[in-house]
Structure 1
């Protein structure tokens, strides 16, 4: 089957990571795959070429010109099945019946109207979790997946602190301030010291939100380290517990899935699809925005790790196998094969 995957834009974000995951799975299933993207920025095209994928570059520097170019291109190339990786290519090709729409976020605000137009004619609408599928009528849950993060040996700290890791953009919607408040509560009330390690950079954050996050981090003093952009494995090797404290309804939970693959002790908020990813019966899910409950969970998980090794390892192993069965590349490939089978059966 000849398949063209049209990107949402040319930069690398979570949606583009999934685009490459899908492309790899399709290629391994012996389909002819081409990746289509605007020339600027060219990050996605460069990565696709490095991996040996056929590419189509459209001369476009902004969203409007990209959508116009894509619609013109599609009018002259209707033979290939089009995998619209995001709302932008879906909207640009609205009405085309030889395609599917793959959303990576729950449409909100004006995106709801755009989606109502974009889905017309599509054979399937894929969304990244059952949480989103329940909120997007007639969509199909097509869960994301991540490569295994190796269980690297722990880097021992110079001082005996409990190191709490945070991976992603430090921002209000990601709950970074709530995590900082929780650690301050622990440091002010106990003998053990808790240090926050942040792996990520503050991109696309408005100044007011950034100021509030910075103030919360400043309250930790020297018990906060900003590592900048790092690979997940690098942060995990330096952390004792990873916290995903999101305060926005997450459509999936890539960081949580990565931590599960690495057998990393993990605490998540109840935001969006995060409980779905870790499992509804997972014991370490706290109410988003509740710094006191988060502090209590960090303390309890830290105590379990140090006092009950068997229970701790059993929890990590169960999380690992949940990742393997649901969010590994092997499981992702099986989902792609099922989607292609559904498409072929509608021809």
Structure 2
């Protein structure tokens, strides 16, 4: 049965929403695709404004949305393109700080409701950190509603001046792409062999090679794993500005670490690992952590941001920046199969408590309905 179009509060049908993405990290882009698919299935017209490469990667048009190319920059041309795309929109929903700032500029002088989702914090140091705080203040004060993916982000939005900040239900979409292999154990062995982890523990990390990811601390911990029998192999999937610096350390110190660049098979890599490592100084609702728990892979993570709220007691948590604590937690788990099995079971149970895609779409749609409902006459 075809979906019934959701009526617009202004007499047009169906309700028209515009989703705004910047460059879009994997978490926010995947969320927008899921949201677009769910909203379109409920009869809502969805336009996704994002760079063309984002549509190529996440196929917003395939999810039932119209895609409009809007460059990542905030120059007048990009803002004008976004402003044109938002003409006659009943509501605009921006994801991430920079996309939200562009939306604020594009909607200047209009009364279109603006919903902003903070999926994560923007990272900056020095003078740029001050600029980020100014952008955050401008965005949250202009937004009708700010949705934060973690309690800490909601609190930050309120402290920054948000009129209305709420906790967002954000689902990790179910696995797509290739079907489950007929022989998962054989496939897992093949992946491990390709990574060079046959007969040795495989420790997996996924994320951009940037300072806030904590990879320098991970390399500090890896020093203690040299010469163990068998020697664990740390594999890091991701790309970024620290690539050369990290690679030089790995080679100079003879560390059992491989940098394999950006990969589109991260789910398979995680499923093949003995442990997953999340070492950043801040995490909101880590997709990597969710994938690890879903895949029954024990997780060692830094006790920061939204991670404790996300994983509960289904992971080993260590202080950020403490290489010794990270090293000890990994060695304890590698030496304790029973604890690993317990964490695997807890991970599956914890994942079952996370919101579903339907729950996520329904919550967002309830916010849309609230903000576009006609004001009753006195």
TM range (shorter): 0.7 to 0.9
Residue 263, structure 1, aligned to residue 284, structure 2: no
The corresponding residue for 2:138 is 117
Contact 2:95–2:118 under 8 Å retained in 1: yes
In the TM superposition, what is the alpha-carbon distance from 1:55 to its structure 2 partner?
A: 2.8
Aligned residue among 131, 134, 144 for 2:170: 144
Aligned residue among 204, 222, 225 for 1:165: 204
Matches within 5 A, 1:79-228: 79-86=89-96, 87-92=100-105, 93-94=107-108, 96-106=111-121, 109-137=130-158, 138-149=164-175, 152-153=184-185, 154-155=188-189, 157=193, 159-188=198-227, 190-202=228-240, 205=241, 209-218=242-251, 221=254, 223-228=256-261
The corresponding residue for 2:22 is 9
Contact 2:314–2:346 under 8 Å retained in 1: no
Structure 1: tracts of 5 or more residues without a match: none
Contact 2:221–2:324 under 8 Å retained in 1: yes
Query: What is the TM-score with the length of structure 1 in the denominator?
Result: 0.82
Contact 1:177–1:212 under 8 Å retained in 2: no
Closer/same/farther in 2, CA of residues 303 and 61 from structure 1, 3 Å limit? closer
Query: What is the TM-score with the length of structure 2 in the denominator?
Result: 0.76
RMSD: 2.9
SS in 1 for 2:353: helix
CA displacement 1:10-34 (0-9 Å, x = unmatched): 6664332222122122223332222
Aligned residue among 70, 74, 81 for 2:82: 70
In the TM superposition, what is the alpha-carbon distance from 1:143 to its structure 2 partner?
A: 4.1
Closer/same/farther in 2, CA of residues 23 and 243 from structure 1, 3 Å limit? same
Distance 2:275 2:62 in 1: 35
Aligned residue among 53, 65, 69 for 1:53: 65
Closer/same/farther in 2, CA of residues 233 and 101 from structure 1, 3 Å limit? closer
Contact 1:168–1:201 under 8 Å retained in 2: yes
The corresponding residue for 2:280 is 246
Aligned residue pair count: 329
